[in-house]
Amino acid sequence: MTRDPRYDILFEPVPIGPLTARNRFYQVPHCNGMGHRLPGAVAAMRGMKAEGGWAVVATEECEIHPSSDFSPFSEARLWDDGDVARMARTAEAIKAHGSLAAIEISHNGHEAVNRFTRLPSMAVSDVVVLAYDPAQAYAMSKRDIADVRRWHRQAALRARAAGFDIIYVYAAHNLSLAFHFLNRRYNRRSDEYGGSLENRTRFLRELLEDTREAVGDTCAVAIRFAVDELLGDAGIAAGNEGRDVVEMLAELPDLWDVNVSNWANDSVTARFGEEGAQQPYIEFVKQVTSKPVVGVGRFTSPDAMVAQVKRGVLDMIGAARPSIADPFLPNKIAEGRIEDIRECIGCNVCVSGDYTLTPLRCTQNPTMGEEYRRGWHPERIAPAASEARCLVVGAGPAGLEAALALAQRGYAVTLAERAPEPGGRINLESALPGLASYARVRDYRLGQLRRMANVDLYPGSELDAENVLEFGAQHVALATGAHWRRDGLGRQHWQPIPGADSGNVYTPDDLMRSKLPEGRVVVYDDDHYYLGGVLAELLVGKGHPVTLVTPAPDVSHWTHNTLEQMHIEKRVRSLGISVVNQHALHTIGAGGVTLSCIYTDVPRELAADAVVLVTSRAPETALYDRLDSDTEALAGAGIQTLTRIGDCLAPGTIAAAVYAGHRYARELEDTSLDPDGAPFRREYVELP
């Protein structure tokens, strides 16, 4: 296939200072949960992006000194010369594919609590640390400022020694010391670094000048700057000081990487922001600088990318999440394979890796974070180990992914689904408010499967045990999913909730299948992910008075890990939904419920005509139980393996289901795996 000429503009080279990027695709800095602890994993992941066609691939933020310790988060580090070799692995992996390697060095000021190093935190002024730690940061002296400038310069030199081509000065996301100096909320200095905007910009200007003087002869110098905090006059905004800063420093860096702050706004989920949502804030930048500009907007459409360039908004298409969902997105556009792009769904499961201190993961791309430790490649997979036939029962996210990966290996695959349409839980959840992008998980896989000659897809086909035994497959994967429990068992309740068997109790499955309650509704959320808040929003939209009750401290508590919680809480409260936190559902009655404080057990009565229980799910195991109980029948039918995957085994996120399906397909008939050891390669700490 050949590239559509409409997209030729995306493959034009872009000069960046003394360097040239081979196209306009730019993987901006993003965290990954691996950082300095797993340098091999980071290098393999970044190298995969370069192989996939991204002309510039950047690291996550890189701490420059022990006083910028961001523990427990695992970011990159260039504290001293001992870190150079570890960082060089990433630069080498990126440059091996002809891409430019960028590094975002930074001191985090009062965002750095220094939990590991136990150094006192430093800040532009005497302020509390931004984390919920019982600590404060001290106001930097002139000597401290000189020290940070020296550390920043040393880190830039180490970055160049490690092989990086583009060195960042970081002033974004409310995370960096340079941004804190700019910000009137924090900068209360009365010397030449405080007061006027020119003074507050001084430190950022000095870092740019220092970096250029240190490495600018061979490396490009980039700035990452948040032009708007979305706080109006209370913060930096594109209409006032954000624009002023860009105008003051317009020609000083070799590239402007611009966004909005904070991270939850910059990486807003699809539920709260559309593709290209940052354009109104950043579009002025190219009007005031001659240097190339990169920006983000969760771009997955090549037409939208072209429009950004032609309208003069961006010179380079920045991406973090789309490059995670499909590291080969640029190559697929170049090769005319638009239909093969795995489009980011904007769920931010990727972000949860950073917050849970675990390797990066992705709903759309199950190989993300597994490039090093499992050797998984997003576009290549080992051929089938035999001519065995495979039967996958259930076409939800796990079944669709298992069938696709098995077929890519070369197995003959039959995928049976009892519902009229494939998709499973995706069909139900993607119809809820704000979750339409989740349908991409289904649509991508169905689009691929329907083009493959070795796949037979049978929707509307419910199989019983006899059907499976008669089918003639050697390998059977059961992806029959799960259903939401009606008895209330979950994290808070290990026994059924009294009254849960009454007629006014509903489950998420009921609501998603249009079986709706009447009158006043209590949504009881003991799941703590997105669904409780979404269902409350759905019910309000249908005209119901709604109270959301949760044992957690706040609404959809786990979504702190996906940068959504503040947006969800704001949405819920703005819709007039009453919220009762830190209370368990004690009993359910005909006209109301009794709650109890999770700390004191003090009861509280609440009027309600119906209750929606969002607690936990029960796996659909009837078919598995029937088959697994008759080993003789399995052997007689020639079935060598019978495996539960996804929600049928362990209900979880859609990302977990996709991963389970992919892992099953990768590992089928793989005799190299050690059943008694770790299923992946580990990285060990080097001891002196």
The DSSP line for 422-457 is: TTTHHHHHTTSTT-GGGHHHHHHHHHHHTT-TTEEE
Cβ count within 10 A of residue 176: 29
252: DSSP letter: S
C-beta of residue 588 within 8 angstroms of C-beta of residue 595 = no
With beta carbons less than 8 A apart as the criterion, state whether 373 and 360 touch: no
Separation CA 104–CA 102 (nearest Å): 7
Buried b / exposed e along 37-70 (16+ C-beta atoms within 10 A): ebbbbbbbbbbbbbbbbbbbbbbbbbbbbbbbbb
Long-range contacts of 592-599 (CB under 8 A, 24+ apart): 593/499, 593/522, 593/549, 595/549, 598/492, 598/551
66: three-class secondary structure by DSSP: helix
Ramachandran bin of 507, using left for φ above 0, alpha for ψ from -120 to 50, beta for the remaining angles: beta
Bridge partner residues of 226 (DSSP): 259
Long-range contacts made by residues 605-608, C-beta under 8 angstroms, separation at least 24? 606/522, 606/547, 606/549, 606/580, 607/520, 608/504, 608/519, 608/520, 608/521, 608/522, 608/547
- SS3 for 515? coil
Strand order through the sheet with 583-588? 583-588, 592-597, 603-607
Query: What's the gap between Cα 481 and its chain centre?
Result: 24
User: In angstroms, rounded to a whole number, what is the distance separating the alpha carbons of residues 586 and 563?
Assistant: 31
**141 phi/psi in degrees, rounded to 5:** -85, 175
| Cα–Cα distance measured from residue 354 to residue 360, given in angstroms and rounded to the nearest whole number | 7
CA 342 to centroid of chain Cα atoms: 14
**Residues acting as catalytic residues:** 31, 170, 173, 266
Given a contact cutoff of 8 angstroms between Cβ atoms, the answer to whether 391 and 477 are in contact is yes
- Tokens, residue 345: 């769904």
Helix, strand, coil proportions of the chain in percent (round to 5)?
35, 20, 45
Q: Which amino acid is at 245?
A: V
- DSSP H helical ranges for 450-514: 465-471, 508-512
Instruction: Give the separation between CA 76 and CA 83, rounded to whole angstroms.
Output: 9
Q: 624 with 648: CB under 8 angstroms? A: yes
With H, G, I as helix, E, B as strand and everything else as coil, classify residue 393.
strand
Give me the sign of the Cα torsion angle 229, 231, 236, 238.
Answer: positive
Q: Which residue has the tokens 């309000």?
A: 540
